[in-house]
Structure 1
Amino acid sequence: MTTEVTQVTFEELSALMKKAAGVTVDPRDLESRADVPFGEFGLDSLGLLGIVGELENRHGRALPTDAERCKSPRAFLDLVNGTLTTGA
């Protein structure tokens, strides 16, 4: 069974932050401040770990361990989307 790989967007990341960590951030704010550390949005390392786990479940593959160490939304999305695109 093949699944179409789509890019994780700022909107999806915002929804995952709410679901996995209870942190509400407007996706437009997340995108406009994409290089700001996650901590400034109220997301800690455990929350990011929850997001990584959710994405792994959704896409049926492990993400690099570096994903949970990303400091900003842009760094996280670049790593995740690069992994999903290449299948690495």
Structure 2
Amino acid sequence: MTTQVTQVTFKELATLMRQAAGVTVDPHDLEGRADTPFAEFGLDSLGLLGIVGELENRHGRALPTDAERCKSPRAFLDLVNGSLATGA
């Protein structure tokens, strides 16, 4: 089964934050404060690990181990989208 590679958006990240960690954040706020630490949005490392696992399941591949250590939405999306684009 081939999974089409798509970019993970701030909107999708906000949805994943709600589903995987119970953290509700407006996607526009998330994008506007993209360099703000996840902790300020109420997302801890365990919640981020849940998001990484969900993305791995959706895309059928492992993400870099650094993904769960990203501190901000921008850093996370840059790493994840770069990985999905290169297949690494």
TM-score bin, normalised by smaller chain: over 0.9
Q: Measure, in 1, the Cα distance between the counterparts of 2:31 and 2:48.
A: 17
- 1:70, 1:12 → 2: CA distance? 17
Letter of the structure 1 residue corresponding to residue 79 of structure 2: L
Residue ranges of structure 1 left out of the alignment (5+ in a row): none
- 1:30-41 equivalence runs, <5 A: 30-41=30-41
Q: State how 1:48-63 maps to structure 2 within 5 Å.
A: 48-63=48-63
Q: Which amino acid aligns with 1:3?
A: T
Residues in 1 aligned to 2:3 and 2:28: alpha-carbon distance in whole angstroms: 28
Whole-angstrom CA distance in 1 between matches of 2:78 and 2:65: 14
CA RMSD of aligned residues (A): 0.6
TM-score, normalising length from structure 1? 0.98
For residues 86 and 2 of structure 1, the distance between their equivalents in structure 2, rounded to whole angstroms, comes to 15
Q: How does 1:2-21 map to 2 (within 5 A)?
A: 2-21=2-21
Letter in 2 for 1:81: N
Q: Percent identity?
A: 86
TM-score normalised by structure 2 residue count: 0.98
Displacement of 1:4 after TM fit? 1.5
Tell me the SS of whatever aligns to 2:4. coil
Aligned-pair CA distance for 1:44: 0.2
Match of 2:73 in 1: 73
Q: CA deviation at 1:85?
A: 0.3
